Amino acid sequence: MFIAPIIILICIFKLVPIGYSFWLSVMKYNIVDPQDSTFVGFANFMKLFGDEYIWKSILNTVYYTVGTLGIGIVLSLLIALLICEPWFKLQGMARALLFVPYIMSMVISGLVWSYIYQPDFGILNLVLGKLHLPEQKLLGQPRVAMWAVIIMVIWRDLGYRITIWSAGILSISRDYTEAARIDGANWLQEVLLIKLPLLRPVAMFLTVLGIIGSFQAFESVYVLTSGGPARATEVIVYNLWREAFAKNNIGYASAIAWLLFVILISFTLLQMKLLYGEEEGN
């Protein structure tokens, strides 16, 4: 009786929409006249294999994920290691200032960076002009537009990752580092041989959530590039949105959503197996 209300809420807002999305994925849904919808079986799923834009959007998403996670996690770890050093006296202020961008919505962050990248009056080209360097139109060049998005996302998420890393670093007992220093270990050896192995669960936590978040990326691409130029920044969720709300192809968009679910659950299970498999082996 006591847990019945939350179970009912989960069913209404989680389980029912999941089941409804699967029903939509096997239908040719008529958004104007739902009664005119027709059952097509797994035709929408079969269409995925021949859709070049789907696979391009998946590759773009992987590229986006590797860029934001690979650079973001390493950079945040280095800054967290620096901030958590005993001689660093402004730890609280530094973490607070670095965390400010994360509390901003992605839409606001995207708008700010769109003005930075603006080719005519943006800060970036203003600085480049002062340095006598050629102006750049980053958001209009297919080869670099994705990196423009990645840099913005790294900047926004940096404070959050630093906070998580800092919590993990500060939880490590000083007995380990003090014993290592007595044995003659330097700072780099402490980090590589003591801190990094103990921070493995933190790294896995950030990686799992980072991959899930990156594969669900939408606002950053929508605000900065709208998937362009030439679909160079179109990630899978933006492709889903285009099919559902620009083309009114609800059934096919639901099939894309289920493809995304399979990809995410596969990544998560693989990462969890690698983490807990190593722990059991140890």
CB 242 within 8 A of CB 97: no
The model carries a pTM of 0.90
The three-state secondary structure class of 31 is coil
Range of the domain at 214: 36-281
CA distance 205 to 202: 5
State the greatest distance between any 2 C-alpha atoms of the chain, in Å, as a whole number: 77
CB 161 within 8 A of CB 69: no
Flag whether 21 is in a domain: no
The three-state secondary structure class of 29 is coil
pLDDT at 278 over 70: no
Rounded to an integer, the average pLDDT of 265-280 is 75
Residue 280: which pLDDT band, with cuts at 50, 70 and 90? low
Rounded to an integer, the average pLDDT of 251-267 is 92
Flag whether 24 is in a domain: no
Flag whether 253 is in a domain: yes
Q: Cα angle vertex 226, ends 220, 227, to 5°? A: 95
Q: What pLDDT is attached to residue 235? A: 95
Flag whether 19 is in a domain: no
Phi, psi angles (nearest 5°) of residue 151: -60, -40
pLDDT by residue (tens digit) across 149-168?
Answer: 999 999 999 999 999 999 99
Flag whether 57 is in a domain: yes
**CB burial readout 191-220, b (16+ within 10 A) else e:** beebbeeebeebbbebbbebbeebbebebb
Rounded to an integer, the average pLDDT of 259-271 is 88
CB 80 within 8 A of CB 158: no
Can you give the CATH number for the domain in which 242 is found? 1.10.3720.10
Flag whether 10 is in a domain: no
pLDDT by residue (tens digit) across 188-229?
Answer: 888 888 899 999 889 988 988 899 899 999 999 999 999 989
pLDDT at 179 over 60: yes
Closest-CA residue to 80 (of 213, 206, 234, 182): 206
Flag whether 16 is in a domain: no
| Amino acid in position 202 | V
Place of tokens 């530094």: 94
Burial of 235 (0-12, 13-18, 19+ CB in 10 A): buried
Total domains present in the chain: 1
Q: Which long-range contacts (CB under 8 A, 24 or more apart) does 69-72 make?
A: 69/207, 69/210, 69/211, 69/214, 71/150, 71/154, 72/153, 72/154, 72/157, 72/158, 72/161, 72/210
Place of tokens 């860029």: 67
The three-state secondary structure class of 216 is coil
